[in-house]
Amino acid sequence: MMATQSVKVKNEESQNAITGAASGIGEKVSSTIRDSREFLHDVRVEMKQVTWPSRDDVVSTTGIVIATVFFFGVFLAAVDWLVQRGVTYIFKVFGV
């Protein structure tokens, strides 16, 4: 008789723990949705305050970026070529 009672008590305790955890999940989900909505609202408000560049600004800065990348690409290729020639010369001099 005692064993049966202890099993019933354990089952009741585990059911209460499960339903207690399940009720907390609904609250967490609703708070997550509420927080997400608030975040998106704040993003919308902040995006309205942004000063966006004009098309001319974007085109000119894009041109500068492309020219700078091209310049440094050529510069680094030349440096690489010179270092390669230098190392080859040094190996040739020392017979390596």
- Residues 7-50 have pLDDT tens digits of 555 555 555 555 555 666 777 777 888 899 999 999 999 999 99
pLDDT score at 20 = 57
Q: Give percent of the chain with pLDDT exceeding 90.
A: 62
> How big is the CA angle at 72 (ends 66 and 73), to the nearest 5 degrees?
85
φ, ψ dihedrals at 50, nearest 5°: -70, 140
Q: Give residue 84's pLDDT.
A: 98
**What average pLDDT does the structure give for the chain?**
84
Query: Does the predicted model carry a pTM greater than 0.85?
Result: no
Q: Tell me, what's the pLDDT at 12?
A: 54
Q: Measured between alpha carbons, how far is 16 from 11 in angstroms, rounded to an integer?
A: 9
State the residue for tokens 């989900």. Answer: 29
